[in-house]
Amino acid sequence: MLTLDFEFTRGAFTLRARCEVGATVTGICGPSGAGKSTLLAHIAGLLKPARGRIVFDDQVLFDSSARVFVPAHQRHFGLVFQDGQLFPHLTVRANLLYGQKHLMADQRRFDLRTVLDLLEIDHLLERRPGQLSGGERQRVALGRALLYSPRLLLLDEPLSSLDRRLKAQILPFLKRIRDETGIPMLYVTHAREEITALDGEIVEMEAGMLPAA
């Protein structure tokens, strides 16, 4: 359960997010420019809200009145960017293992083999990100986030850089992740049908206002 109640600035605007996220898949929908990616960056801990609280399960991640701020690398959330953001100087294998490598053994929920099979990226292991297609890149980015065994998976328009055919190819993988890992997902998109396809709950975001769901 993720409880959001905070204000953040984006450019000259102050936006407000206030909702509880409890479903396995929650989609935050809204037009481009509504501040969806900025919202996600705040949840991930990459940006610090102006004021308010962010609580995940029983852990306070941000509380402006108590001066609590847990930075991104201690939140243990996975974040998949729009264009994957694979590390260009590392092989696919090194990319996949980047987050997992420093986990304690008891924190590792998946091994490489499982993720390779789940996302069908076995044959890409020794390649570099520059040699991957858009769809392959997104699958590797998903795999990298999964191997980190996150408590929550944040997806920032993970399909928007792909064409219709590739979108249709990746969606089943997202379903598999939902069904086989049980990791809750917070999915930001302007395409509602992606959330519908994942049977997710939809929260509307308009002009930076994220109302109580």
Partner 1 sequence: MHLSPDELTALWLSAKIALCCMLACLPAGVAVAWLLARHDFRGKLLLEAFVQLPMVLPPVVPGYLLLVVFGNRGPIGGWLHQHFGVQLAFNWKGAVLASATMAFPLMVQPVRLAFQMIDRRLEQAAATLGASPWRVFATISLPLAIPGIVAGAILCFSRALGEFGATMAFVGNIPGETRTVPLAIYSALHQPGGEAAAARLAALSIALAFAAMLFSHLLTRRSERKLGYRTRAHA
Provide the binding-site residues for partner 1, judged by CB under 8 A: 41, 44-46, 71-79, 81, 85, 87-89, 98-99, 102-103, 128-130, 144-145, 148, 154
| Among 21, 180, 49, 195, CA closest to 110 | 180
Measured from the CB atom, the residue of 75 and 167 that comes closer to partner 1 is 75
Q: In angstroms, what is the minimal distance from the CB of 131 to partner 1?
A: 8
Q: Indicate the DSSP class of residue 206.
A: B
* Residues 141/102, Cβ–Cβ less than 8 Å: no
Question: Smaller CB distance to partner 1: residue 46 or 55?
Answer: 46
Which parts of 98-163 fold into alpha helices (H)? 112-119, 134-147
Other beta carbons within 10 angstroms of residue 11's beta carbon come to 9
Query: Which lies closer to partner 1 via its Cβ, residue 150 or residue 208?
Result: 150
What does the buried/exposed string (b/e) look like for 171-203 if buried means 16 or more CB atoms within 10 Å of the residue's CB? eebbeebbeebebbbbbbbbeeebbebbebebb
- Output the smallest distance, CB 146 to partner 1, in A: 11
Instruction: State in angstroms the smallest separation of the CB of 134 from partner 1.
Output: 15
Q: Give me the least distance between CB of 84 and partner 1, in Å please.
A: 9
Nearer to partner 1, 129 or 184 (CB): 129
